[in-house]
Amino acid sequence: MMAKLEDVAKLANVSKTTVSRVLNHRGYLSEQTINKVHQAMATLNYRPNVIARQLYKNQTNLIGILLPTVANPFFGELSVALERRLYQQHYKVLIGNSMNDSDKEQDYLEQLLNKQIDGLIVGTHNRGIREYQEMNLPVVAIDRMVNTDIPIVAADNYAGGKLATELLLKGGATKIIHVNGPKKLAVAAHRRREAYEDVMRLHGLTPITYEIDFNIAESDKKAQLQQIFSDYPDVEGIFSSNDTDAALLLQIAAEMGRRVPDDFRLIGFDGTQIVRELLPQLTTIIQPIDEIATQAVSTLQRRIKGEQTDHEIILPVKLWPGATI
C-alpha cells in the first residue's frame, strides 16, 4: 500500500505536524529531525500528495509560456532562459507555440487556464483575444503589447534601430531599405522601424520598408526578399529587423554574386548566441535575452504576489560588430 503521512511520522518517531512542517519548510526544526523525516520518507518511498497541497495553498507552481515558435533562434534561446529562471524559483513550465495563429493561441490559452497555472508569460503577436481582457491571472508580455494592464519587458528597440541605421549611414550607404514584420502586429519591435524612418528623414532620405510576414514559408519569404534587389538594384544597405531574414539575405546575395559589404551593407537584429557562433560575420544588434528573462520572471512573481510593477521595462542593446557593414 502507498505510504501515508502518519506512516512517516510513526517511523521517524515525530508528530504528523512535524512531518508537514518539514515538507513545507515551515518553522524551526533541528537538522536531526529533518534528516529523520527524510530518511523515513526514503525508506517508505513516500510521495507527498501534491494535488492536495496545491489546493490547500491555492497555487500549482505552474507557469505558462506562449511564444510564436521556439524554432526561431531568439524565441528558442528566450524559452530556455525563462525555463531556467523559473525552475530556480521552483516553478514548472508549460510552453505553447502559437505560430502567429490567433485560433491556436486562444486554444492554448484555454488549455493553460484549465491547468490552473499561477501566471503567464506571453510573447505572441496577437492582441484582442478575449481571454487577455478577462482573465484574472498575472501576465507579463515580452516585446508585445497585449493590453494596457499587462506589463511589457523588452529590449530598447528604438535605440537598436537608430544604431543600426546610423551605422549603415556612417558606412556610406544612403539607399537603405528596412525589412520588418506586418505593421498590424502590436509588437514593440515596430520601434525599430520608427527609429529607422526617423533617422532616414533626419538625413533628408526616403525610408523604404518591406513588410515580411513572420510566419510564411521560407520559399515565399526568400522570394519577397529577392524582390528587393529587383525593385532597387542600387540598394546600398539593408537593415533587417531579425537575424533569420538577414541570414537569408546573405544567402540571396551569394546566389546573385553580390558581395557583402562591398556591393551592399547589411545589419540584423537579435544577436542570439547561435547566430553569433554560426554567422560571426553578420553585424547585428544584440538583445539581452538573459536579462529579459530575469526581468520577466521577477515581474511575474511580483504580479503573483499582488505587488505593483512598472508598465514597461526597457533594457539596453549592444552591437555585435561582425563584418557586413
pLDDT confidence of residue 86: 95
Residue 101 has pLDDT above 80, yes or no: no
- Give 55's pLDDT tier (boundaries 50, 70, 90): very low
Residue 58 has pLDDT above 60, yes or no: no
Cα(222)–Cα(253) distance, integer angstroms: 11
Cα(273)–Cα(283) distance, integer angstroms: 13
Cα(141)–Cα(21) distance, integer angstroms: 36
Cα(118)–Cα(120) distance, integer angstroms: 7
Mean residue pLDDT across the chain: 89
Ranges of beta strands (E only) in 212-317 are 237-240, 265-270, 284-286, 312-315
pLDDT confidence of residue 227: 96
- Start and end residues for every CATH 1.10.260.40 domain found in the chain: 5-48
Mean pLDDT of 150-169: 97
CATH superfamily, domain 5-48, is lambda repressor-like DNA-binding domains (1.10.260.40)
* Cβ–Cβ < 8 Å for 195, 165: yes
* CA distances from residue 86 to 53, 201, 285, 299, 300 in whole angstroms, order as listed: 20, 43, 26, 12, 10
CATH class of the 62-154+290-314 domain in this structure:
alpha beta
C-beta atoms surrounding 225 within 10 Å: 21
Per-residue model confidence as pLDDT tens digits over 66-100: 898 888 999 999 999 999 999 999 899 988 887 66
Q: Which amino acid is at 34?
A: I
Per-residue model confidence as pLDDT tens digits over 232-285: 999 999 999 999 999 999 999 999 999 999 999 999 999 999 999 999 999 999
Mean pLDDT of 154-162: 97
- Start and end residues for every CATH 3.40.50.2300 domain found in the chain: 62-154+290-314, 157-288
Q: Which CATH number fits domain 157-288: 3.40.50.2300, 2.80.10.50, 3.90.650.10, 3.10.20.340?
A: 3.40.50.2300
Per-residue model confidence as pLDDT tens digits over 197-236: 999 999 999 999 999 987 788 899 999 999 999 999 999 9
Mean pLDDT of 169-187: 89
Q: What Rg, from alpha-carbon coordinates, does the chain have?
A: 25
C-beta atoms surrounding 125 within 10 Å: 25
- Give 146's pLDDT tier (boundaries 50, 70, 90): confident
